[in-house]
Amino acid sequence: MTETKLTWIEEELTALRESGLFTHLRIIDSPPGAWMTVDGKKVLNLCTNNYLGLANHPRLVQAAKDALDHYGVGPTAVRTIAGTLAVHRELERKIAEFKHVEDALCVQSGLIANQAAIPPLVGKEDVIFSDRLNHASIIDGARLSRAKIIVYEHCDPVDLETKVKKHLHNYRRGLVVSDGVFSMDGDIAPLDKLYAVAEKYGLLTMVDDAHGEGVLGHGGRGIVDHFGLHGKFDVEIGTFSKAFGVSGGMIAGKKVIVDYMRQKARPFLFSNAVTAADSAACLAAIEVLSESTELVDRLWQNTELFKDGMQQLGFDVGHSVTPITPVMLGDVKLAKEFSRKLFDEGVFAMALGFPTVPQGLARIRVMVSAALSTDDLDFGLEKFAQIGKELGVI
Ligand SMILES: *Cc1c(COP(=O)(O)O)cnc(C)c1O
């Protein structure tokens, strides 16, 4: 009985393998710098979210070591019982200052931040207006809230307004939520226009800035800074796992909302606090970014070099306006073969297919980083050119 009960899973796995959608994990045994050791091979790293090279920055590593010595390894409680450390509060004050918001709450990850922040704001009597391409963690957070979810067309404030007019009056409250930077295409939400609609109809506003922090705005202060909308968005969701190079999430914004989250956000109440070492490393990341815009400037210089190079070679790199560079290939098997061949040539750039991106829009997503030298970028471009010709893509 036990065997037959599980055969459907075997069948599903076989179907994934046959369609080319089965994910194989590559194993990394080094820091995520410009070059890293993947499956025992030294390769150029073109696919981590280490935008600024902070993940193995000596100051962050030292800060984490000092915190380990001071606090030990684990916080051993949820924040609301006995898990709030001095370093947690210091980090919350510093990130709020950095982003020019009133206050912030740090949680375990960006994914968790969305699950934590949405349900306290809206419930069964309410409605959420959500961009069609929002990140999975926004979708999950929205579902957890049990509010009605109305999807508006991607980055389309006109469609948003049409749907708000049609539906809002049936509900108690409305929330509009969008990714800031869309992580698969690298385009950005028209935040000023979304805000205008929200203001007109009295909607709560939330933006997830996971790929904008450390990248957009002055010295990496994020998408709200990019648009000059300080103090306008009620909630800014963020992560320390990308440009900040560490791990952890945040709910930032108006003080009244952050105060409320401290009482209501379930992952904050029911899951162990972030470790002191992680929090101290995040603090060090904010210090590094507050002192100089050098890393962010280099990230954008590298982005321009790489994108120009790829376009000159004849690749379709989509319509990204950020360091995220999708190399559009369409067919998932082609994308996976391209990625495998790049790897054999010493370049680590992963292929992404359904369900991470829509069917038929498979790609290799290159993440440009400030950690790459000009020689590194040239090496990457040369290998893309070689494999692109070999596979008839260019
Ligand atoms: C990566 C990402 C997350 C998840 O962040 P983690 O800290 O890795 O959990 C959430 N939202 C968006 C938009 C993201 O791109």
pLDDT tens digits, one per residue of 59-94 = 999 999 999 999 999 999 999 999 999 999 999 999
Please, what is the end-to-end C-alpha distance for the chain in angstroms? Answer: 53
More confident of the two residues 167 and 353: 167
Whether 279 and 314 map to the same domain: the answer is no
Residue 3 has pLDDT above 90, yes or no: no
Whether 276 and 334 map to the same domain: the answer is no
Report angle CA 178, 181, 184 to the nearest 5 degrees: 105
**Of ligand 1's atoms, which has the minimum distance to the CA of residue 182?**
13
Segment 293-319 mean pLDDT? 98
Ligand 1 within 6 A of 303 CB?
no
In a domain, 10, yes or no: no
- Is cis: bond before 119, omega within 30 of 0? no
User: What length is written for the chain?
Assistant: 394
Sign of CA dihedral 295, 297, 300, 306: negative
Whether 96 and 136 map to the same domain: the answer is yes
Q: pLDDT tens across 328-341, in order?
A: 999 999 999 999 99
Between CA 27 and CA 39 the distance in angstroms is 5
Query: Which of 241, 276, 291 is the endpoint of a domain?
Result: 291
Between CA 377 and CA 33 the distance in angstroms is 13
Segment 367-384 mean pLDDT? 98
Atom 14 (ligand 1) nearest CA: 210
Whether 306 and 341 map to the same domain: the answer is yes
- Predicted confidence at residue 19, as pLDDT, reads 85
Ligand 1 within 6 A of 111 CB?
yes
- Predicted confidence at residue 355, as pLDDT, reads 82
**Look-up of token digits 């036990």:** 2
Q: Residues 370, 299: contact at Cβ < 8 Å?
A: yes
- Predicted confidence at residue 307, as pLDDT, reads 98
Q: pLDDT tens across 190-237, in order?
A: 999 999 999 999 999 999 999 999 999 999 999 999 999 999 999 999
Whether 182 and 38 map to the same domain: the answer is no
Between CA 314 and CA 333 the distance in angstroms is 20
In a domain, 330, yes or no: yes
Count: domains in the chain = 2
In a domain, 279, yes or no: yes
Residue 42 has pLDDT above 90, yes or no: yes
Q: Which residues are catalytic?
A: 183, 211, 242
Phi, psi of 308 (to 5 degrees): -60, -45
Q: pLDDT tens across 249-291, in order?
A: 999 999 999 999 999 999 999 999 999 999 999 999 999 999 9
In a domain, 253, yes or no: yes
Whether 71 and 164 map to the same domain: the answer is yes
- Predicted confidence at residue 2, as pLDDT, reads 63
Between CA 211 and CA 243 the distance in angstroms is 7
Whether 37 and 180 map to the same domain: the answer is no
More confident of the two residues 260 and 356: 260
Pocket test for ligand 1, best of 178, 179, 242 (most atoms within 8 A of CB): 242
Residue 375 has pLDDT above 70, yes or no: yes
Whether 283 and 350 map to the same domain: the answer is no
- Predicted confidence at residue 20, as pLDDT, reads 79
Ligand 1 within 6 A of 365 CB?
no
Whether 160 and 208 map to the same domain: the answer is yes
In a domain, 12, yes or no: no
- Predicted confidence at residue 354, as pLDDT, reads 85
Whether 260 and 163 map to the same domain: the answer is yes
Between CA 46 and CA 367 the distance in angstroms is 5
Q: pLDDT tens across 151-190, in order?
A: 999 999 999 999 999 999 999 999 999 999 999 999 999 9
Atom 5 (ligand 1) nearest CA: 110
Report angle CA 34, 36, 37 to the nearest 5 degrees: 170
Q: Residues 131, 194: contact at Cβ < 8 Å?
A: no
Q: Which contacts of 347-350 are long-range, i.e. CB under 8 A and separated by 24 or more positions?
A: 347/43, 347/44, 347/46, 347/379, 347/380, 347/383, 347/384, 348/26, 348/36, 348/38, 348/43, 348/44, 348/45, 348/46, 348/47, 349/46, 349/47, 349/380, 350/26, 350/47
Query: Which of 245, 262, 291 is the endpoint of a domain?
Result: 291
Q: Lowest mean pLDDT of 9-23, 69-83, 131-145, 375-389, name the range.
A: 9-23
Pocket test for ligand 1, best of 137, 177, 178, 216 (most atoms within 8 A of CB): 137
- Predicted confidence at residue 1, as pLDDT, reads 59
| DSSP string of 132-185, one letter each residue | TT--HHHHHHHHHHT-EEEEE-TT-HHHHHHHHHHHGGGSS-EEEEEESB-TTT
Q: From the CB of residue 177, how many other CB atoms can be counted at a distance below 10 Å?
A: 29
Tokens encoding 219: 């010295």
Whether 263 and 365 map to the same domain: the answer is no
Query: Which of 237, 257, 291 is the endpoint of a domain?
Result: 291
Band the pLDDT of 149: cuts 50, 70, 90. very high
Band the pLDDT of 376: cuts 50, 70, 90. very high
Task: Give distance in angstroms: CA of 208 to centre of ligand 1.
Answer: 8
* Burial letters 30-58, b for 16+ CB under 10 A, else e: ebbbbbbebeeeebbbbbbbbbbbbbebe
Whether 299 and 286 map to the same domain: the answer is no
**Of ligand 1's atoms, which has the minimum distance to the CA of residue 249?**
7
* Average pLDDT for the chain: 96
Tokens encoding 314: 């004849």
- Predicted confidence at residue 272, as pLDDT, reads 96
Check which CATH number belongs to the domain holding 101 and give it.
3.40.640.10
Check which CATH number belongs to the domain holding 337 and give it.
3.90.1150.10
Helix, strand or coil, per DSSP, at residue 117: helix
Between CA 14 and CA 35 the distance in angstroms is 34
Between CA 111 and CA 138 the distance in angstroms is 8
In a domain, 5, yes or no: no
In a domain, 9, yes or no: no
Ligand 1 within 6 A of 188 CB?
no
316 lies in which domain range?
Answer: 19-48+293-390
Atom 7 (ligand 1) nearest CA: 110
In a domain, 305, yes or no: yes
Q: From the CB of residue 250, how many other CB atoms can be counted at a distance below 10 Å?
A: 29
More confident of the two residues 174 and 356: 174
Provide the whole-model pTM: 0.95
